[in-house]
A and B are shown apart, each in its own frame.
Chain A
C-alpha cells in the first residue's frame, strides 16, 4: 500500500503539486486511520492532507481520478503483495496451470486461466501487480512504450501462453479454442497498451509543458509564434503571481530618532512606566505609482502587450497603473485594461492607436499634458519603444522635463543593444532623459525589470 501511495505522490508532483516529505508521512498516517475501502473517503482524506490551495485541489482531483482507474483499491485484496498468485510468475508450474490446461482445450499457464476468469477485476489486479513489478512508474519517454508493454506482458506470463497456443495450433489446427485464445491475446494486448499509455501520461503530465515554458521565457518576444500566445499569457500570469507573493508584504522602515511615544508607553507598562524598551516611528515603504507608455506600432506591439499584461496581472501590488499607447498619436488605455479581458483590451488598443508611423515628439508632449497632475516624486514612468523616430523630433526635451518631476524614468527597448543608435534610432538622445535604459527582449528580462519596480527600489 505504501508503494501505491508513493506512486500517487509522484504523480501529484509530476502535475506540479508541491508535496513535502512531511505531508507524505501525514498521508500514510491518515490512511492507517481511514483505510482504503471507501473511494470518496480516500479521496477526501488525501486531498486534505496533500493539496493545500484551491488550484492544487483541482489538479489533485484530476490526478486522483486518472490514477485510481486501474489501481482500484478493493477491500481485502493485498494488491501490493508480490506473492499474489495472479501475478503470473511461476504459476505455469502451479496447480492452477494444470487445472487451466485441463479445463479448456488449449492451456497456457496462469495467464490463460486469468483470461478465462469472468471477473475482470482479477485481470486488472494482475496487470497492476505486473506493472509494479516492472516499475512502470519510471516510464518517461514515448520511445520506452514498446519495451514496457513487452516487459509487462512477459511479467504476466505471455511466453507460456504463446508456447501453449503454438503447440495446440500444431496439433489441432483450426480448433475453435485457438481462435478464442488468439482473440483473448489481442484484447489483452490492447488493455496493456492502454495501461502503459495512461501511465506515461500520468507520470510525465507536466514535463513537456515545463520544458516548453522554460524555452518560451528565453525566446525573444518579437519572435513568438501566434500559436504560443495562450501559453505565454498563462506564463505571464504565473510569473506575475510569483512577484505578487514576493511583494505582497509591505515593508516598513524605522525612522531613526523619532520616538513613538504611545507604543513605547504601552510596551513599558510592565516596568511601571519606566522606559526600558523604546519604539521608533515607522514609515511604510510606498508602492510606486506607475505610468506605462507603450509604443504599439509594428513589432514593438508584441512586447507592449506582454508588458501591459504583466502590469495588470499585478494589480494587487501595483494598484496605481496608468497606461498609454501611442504610434502617431497617444491615448490612455487604462480603463480598457481594468474592465475588459486582456485579449479584448489589447485588440482594442491596437485597433485604436496602433496605426501609422511613430511620432515620439508629439506623443511625449501629449503624455506630459495628460499626466501633468500625476507626475510627482512617487511616480515611475516606463517607456517601451524602439526609439525610432523616423528622423523626426524624438521628444528628448519633453522627456527631460518629465524626468525632473518624477522619481525615475525607465526606458525599455526591445531591440538588441547593438542596434541602438543605428539608422533613425534616437536612443542616445532620449537616454539623457532616463534613469536607466534596459534591453527588454524576453519574458525573463521583463520579469526582472518589473520585479525591481515592484520592490520600490530606485
Chain B
C-alpha cells in the first residue's frame, strides 16, 4: 500500500544524508530522517544534545543544502517580542509626521470643524502603522521570506518561559498575530530548528509541537568520518589514534567531556605540530585543547601513557 511512497521516502532521506556530506556536514541517519520529516510534516525540530555536537551547525548545513537563507535568533534571558518579532520604526514615524506636517495642513484645508477633519484623517488612517514602518526581527523575517527560509531559534532554554509560550502559535501554524496589523501567515513554511542545552526543562506544550532529535556524541566510525571531512590533510593512522583517544576520554569521569568541535580543534593542533602519531609528551602538551577544566587535565594527565597505548600510539 505505501511501498512506492516508502521507498521514495527512503531515497529522499539518503539524498539528504548525501547532500549534507557533500557540504562537509557528516550526518547520522537519525539527523537526515529528522530533516526529511520536518519538511514532509511541516514541523519544527527541537535539537538536544551535549554542547559541541553540531546542533547549530545542523541548521547552517540545512540552509546550504536547501539553498534557503539562514535566519538566526539567539535566545537569552529577557528576550521579548520587540527583539524577536517586530518593532515599529519610531524614529521614521516621527520624522515622517514632521515632514508631512504641511502636507497634512493642506489636506485639512477646507474641512469644517473637528469632526470633518477627523473623517478626512480616517481616510489615510493606517499610513503610520503599515508595513512601511515595521522593522521585522528574525521571526517575522522568516515568515515573510518568499522562497522559504531556515529559521534557527538557538538555545531556547535560555529564554524565559513567557517567550516559550509566545512561540507556540508560530510553531504550530507558522503564523503570528500583530495587534496593529492582524495575523501574518508564512508565505512559504520555513524549516524551523530549536536548540536546547537543557539548562532547564522545556514545557510539554512546546515539545508536543516539535519533532525531537537527540544528537549524542558520535561513535568512533562517525567521528572518524567527521575528522576526515573537516581535516582532510590528516593521515588515516593518526586520525584513528586521535579519535580512539578522544572516545576513551569520554568514557572517563570528567567534568566536561570533549565535544566534536574540540576533537576537530585538536586534530588541527596536532597537524600544526607536524605530528605523525600520538605520543604521550605531545598529548600532555596539547591536552588543554581538549579539556577545559584544570581538575580534568590533572586527572587525565596521569593516565595519558596507557590511554595513548590503548589508542594505538607509541
| B is bound to A | yes
Binding site for B on A (CB under 8 A): 18, 20, 22-23, 26, 29-30, 32-38, 40-41, 44-45, 47-49, 51-54, 57, 75-76, 78, 245, 248-249, 269-270, 272
A35 touches B2 (CB 8 A): yes
- B41: chain A residues at CB < 8 Å are 26, 29-30, 33
A63 to B87, CA, bound (A): 48
B7 touches A37 (CB 8 A): yes
Q: How would you classify the secondary structure of chain A's contact residues: helix, strand, loop or mixed?
A: helix
B3 touches A35 (CB 8 A): yes
A52 to B211, CA, bound (A): 8
Asked if A41 meets B13 with Cβ closer than 8 Å, knowing A26-B41, A54-B48, A245-B201, the reply is yes
CB distance from A12 to the nearest CB of B (A): 14
State whether the Cβ of B109 lies closer than 8 Å to any Cβ in chain A: no
B5 touches A33 (CB 8 A): yes
Please list the 7 inter-chain residue pairs (A to B) with the smallest Cβ-Cβ separation, ordered nearest first: A35-B6, A52-B212, A44-B33, A52-B207, A35-B2, A48-B211, A33-B40
CB distance from B42 to the nearest CB of A (A): 10
Interface size band for B = 20 to 34
A22 to B94, CA, bound (A): 47
A41 touches B33 (CB 8 A): yes
Partner of B161, one of A45, A48, A53, A249: A249
State whether the Cβ of B10 lies closer than 8 Å to any Cβ in chain A: yes
A44 to B212, CA, bound (A): 10
B33 touches A76 (CB 8 A): no
- A78: chain B residues at CB < 8 Å are 1
B37 touches A33 (CB 8 A): yes
Asked if A40 meets B6 with Cβ closer than 8 Å, knowing A30-B37, A51-B212, the reply is no
B6 touches A36 (CB 8 A): yes
CB distance from A202 to the nearest CB of B (A): 23
Q: Which of B202-245 contact A (CB under 8 A)?
A: 204, 207-208, 210-214
A18 to B2, CA, bound (A): 28
B212 touches A41 (CB 8 A): no
State whether the Cβ of B96 lies closer than 8 Å to any Cβ in chain A: no
State whether the Cβ of B166 lies closer than 8 Å to any Cβ in chain A: no
CB distance from B165 to the nearest CB of A (A): 12
User: In the complex, what residue of chain A is closest to B39 when comparing beta carbons?
Assistant: A33
State whether the Cβ of B144 lies closer than 8 Å to any Cβ in chain A: no
- B1: chain A residues at CB < 8 Å are 78
Partner of A41, one of B29, B94, B213: B29
State whether the Cβ of B9 lies closer than 8 Å to any Cβ in chain A: yes
User: In the complex, what residue of chain B is closest to A32 when comparing beta carbons?
Assistant: B2
User: In the complex, what residue of chain A is closest to B2 when comparing beta carbons?
Assistant: A35
State whether the Cβ of B252 lies closer than 8 Å to any Cβ in chain A: no
Asked if A37 meets B201 with Cβ closer than 8 Å, knowing A26-B43, A29-B41, A48-B33, the reply is no
B200 touches A48 (CB 8 A): no
A44 to B2, CA, bound (A): 18
- A52: chain B residues at CB < 8 Å are 46, 207-208, 210, 212
- B46: chain A residues at CB < 8 Å are 52
Partner of A37, one of B3, B88, B214: B3
CB distance from A182 to the nearest CB of B (A): 40
CB distance from B133 to the nearest CB of A (A): 11
A40 touches B211 (CB 8 A): no
Task: List 19 A-B residue pairs with CB atoms under 8 Å apart, sorted by A's residue number.
Answer: A22-B208, A26-B41, A30-B37, A33-B37, A35-B9, A35-B10, A37-B3, A37-B6, A37-B10, A41-B29, A44-B29, A47-B30, A48-B30, A49-B211, A51-B212, A52-B46, A248-B201, A269-B90, A270-B88
B10 touches A38 (CB 8 A): yes
A40 touches B5 (CB 8 A): no
Of B1, B2, B207, chain A has the most CB atoms within 10 Å of the CB of: B2
A53 to B88, CA, bound (A): 39
A364 to B94, CA, bound (A): 69
A35 to B9, CA, bound (A): 8
- A32: chain B residues at CB < 8 Å are 2, 5
User: In the complex, what residue of chain B is closest to A37 when comparing beta carbons?
Assistant: B6
State whether the Cβ of B270 lies closer than 8 Å to any Cβ in chain A: no
B90 touches A48 (CB 8 A): no
A248 touches B29 (CB 8 A): no
Extra pairs beyond A20-B208, A23-B208, A53-B212 (12, CB < 8 Å): A30-B40, A33-B37, A34-B33, A35-B5, A41-B10, A44-B33, A48-B33, A48-B34, A54-B48, A57-B212, A248-B201, A269-B90
